[in-house]
Structure 1
Amino acid sequence: MAQQQVSPPPDLGLHEIADADLDRYIAKSNGVVGLLNASLRGKDSWARYLSWVDVKRGPTGKERIIYGLYSVGSSAKRDIDTARKTAGDKPAIPALDDATKQLASTFEALIPILNEAEAYYDRKDYLADNMAGGKALHDKLVPAAMAFLAARATTEALQNQLKDALDRAELAKIEKAEGKSVRWHVRNTMVLAKRAVELMPSSPKGGADLPQFDATLAAFGSAVRDFDTAIRESGKSTSIDSYPRDILGKLREMRDSIAKGRADNVSYSMDYNSVIQQYNMMVTMSNAFR
């Protein structure tokens, strides 16, 4: 697989966000997230291409299966334009603003190539031209995709820094107004659940940062205990009451199976997907408490 080396992103320096600026930072974050979500289609299309093409050699027409690529819909232009606008809005976050603009430009440049390629392979033109068109598209696609993937990786890493700062600011705002209320515990648990799920090993056979996962899992466990206590003592219930402990329990089972070398790929993959589904449902349900 062709890979683009990406340097570690700079520290945004957003260690504290004032209450008065919170909404403006959230608006900037929403613009970046919209672009990242839209550009997932470009990332998925490239992955589909890699599933059947040797990138160094390019398409030959002799591949066992020719899958083609995915196109990107016209709605992506709205997300590109919105991200460009929010990148220029105040307050400025230079590193993230520049990365967002770069992602918008590289994604915009990649889209017509992906769409042309999808149409070429759908028409099976390669059967009529001996893959000449596919080879020409490959020469345009690879540099455009590499630039896009590098820009996307940088933007996503910087956006994660902004999201962490926003989470801290939102928690501080709630605590200032309500103390460590049930709503505070919901938000705190959601923040730590997100980190734990993101660090969850995708495979039981290594390749993950297990020490970092273990530390995050311990913090998540503490937050879930505090969340359960707050719910019990409040005498009230929320729409996500059981989700945090269910996710925590499954993550601990998965970590235990890795430690004991008992995890097989099939069952682990099922558990992994189950955690993702539970987490996504919890996110949807928790929106009532934002």
Structure 2
Amino acid sequence: MSFRTRTAPLAAAIALISLLGACSKGPGSVADTQGVEKVNAYIACFNAVEQPIHEGFQQYIGWMQDPEAGPTGNEKKVRGPGTVLSHRVDACNAPMVAALAMTPAEPALDPAASNYQKTFVDLYALIEQADRYYSREDYLRDDHAGMRSQHAPLMKAYMAFFDAGTALDAALEKREDERRAEQLKEIEASEGRSMAYYQIKILGDGKQLTQLLNTEAPDLAVARTQLTAFQALLQQAQDDKVGKGDAMWGHLERAADTLARDAGRRIERVESKKPYTRSEQMLIESGGRINNPQGSAEALLVSYNDLVDMSNRLAQSSGAR
């Protein structure tokens, strides 16, 4: 089993599905509303714990010479996996249980969500136990026996959770893409290429571009084609005077422009095969949102998340009008 460095996946879950209701015209059915609530609960859980769990995992294995073999007891610096803020943990408990019971069922999504919730609960019980052990420095009083005995079950639970996260991520991606395609058809048929149409289209195409470039060796030819299409989409929205005079649309437009810029930088960096300096690598490993190296997948992901944030704000402001 490999315990290589892992990063949280770029998920459909990053983009909260507020768009499902906010951009639709007319009242929806009870089933539609519950369907949105169900998926939003799955997304809220995923968004709440996925990244902190990955970060805690890196913290835990970072001081071990061989994470697969586990701690030896001879390490100079040791760290537990750390805990997750309680309100994030809560998002994967009662709300998830309630969402799983909602009807109608989602056969392509519910099993993945159920397994994700179960593996998180199982993993987090071990994380809390390990964190208390390391925080109390109990290893200094038991000849490091607890370090060794806890390691294998903890790592097995981590791997189960990561696999469940990958499966839920894929299921959410598929559902979001299908729903987005349906929305675009509905909106274009009823009101043409309106602001709502461009909002959904820009967010979806921006996500696809980010996904393509969020790997170590992206297909640059495909990436250039998608970037050109994304730039053309943004230009068409400007030519159509979409959102003219709307301050929130202006924020979304600027976020989309930044995403296009950072996608171009990512393509250029991969093409030039420019290695990261030691200081750039440290910035990436810190997991922060700011000062990520130009052309890095991390910088592009920050730009995409900013676009998502602006889109959600625009949806909320539109719904309040």
Aligned to 2:3: 2
Aligned to 1:236: 245
Give matches, 1:181-220, under 5 Å.
Answer: 181-201=194-214, 206-220=216-230
Describe the shift of the 1:229–1:94 C-alpha distance in structure 2 as closer, same or farther (beyond 3 A): same
Aligned to 1:147: 160
Q: 1:85 aligns with which of 82, 98, 111?
A: 98
Asked if the contact 2:252–2:307 (Cα under 8 Å) also holds between the matched residues in 1, the reply is yes
Aligned to 1:15: none
Give matches, 1:1-290, under 5 Å.
Answer: 1-2=2-3, 22-40=32-50, 41-53=52-64, 54-75=66-87, 76-201=89-214, 206-231=216-241, 235-237=244-246, 238=249, 239-261=251-273, 263-266=274-277, 269-271=292-294, 272=296, 273-290=298-315
Structure-2 separation of matches of 1:84 and 1:168: 29
Secondary structure of 2:150's aligned partner: helix
Stretch moving more, 185-194 or 216-225: 216-225
Where does the alignment leave 5 or more consecutive residues of structure 1 unmatched?
A: 4-17
Asked if the contact 2:48–2:91 (Cα under 8 Å) also holds between the matched residues in 1, the reply is no
TM-score under structure 2 length normalisation: 0.74
Where does the alignment leave 5 or more consecutive residues of structure 2 unmatched?
A: 5-23, 282-291, 316-321
- Cα shift at 1:220: 1.9
Structure-1 separation of matches of 2:221 and 2:191: 34
Structure-1 separation of matches of 2:161 and 2:266: 34
Describe the shift of the 1:279–1:152 C-alpha distance in structure 2 as closer, same or farther (beyond 3 A): closer
Asked if the contact 1:29–1:162 (Cα under 8 Å) also holds between the matched residues in 2, the reply is no
Asked if the contact 1:199–1:209 (Cα under 8 Å) also holds between the matched residues in 2, the reply is yes
Q: What is the CA RMSD across the aligned residues, in angstroms? A: 2.7
Structure-2 separation of matches of 1:95 and 1:186: 26
Q: Deviations over 1:80-134 (max 9, x none)?
A: 3322322332232213111111111111111111011111111111122121011
Structure-2 separation of matches of 1:241 and 1:48: 37
Structure-1 separation of matches of 2:136 and 2:210: 41
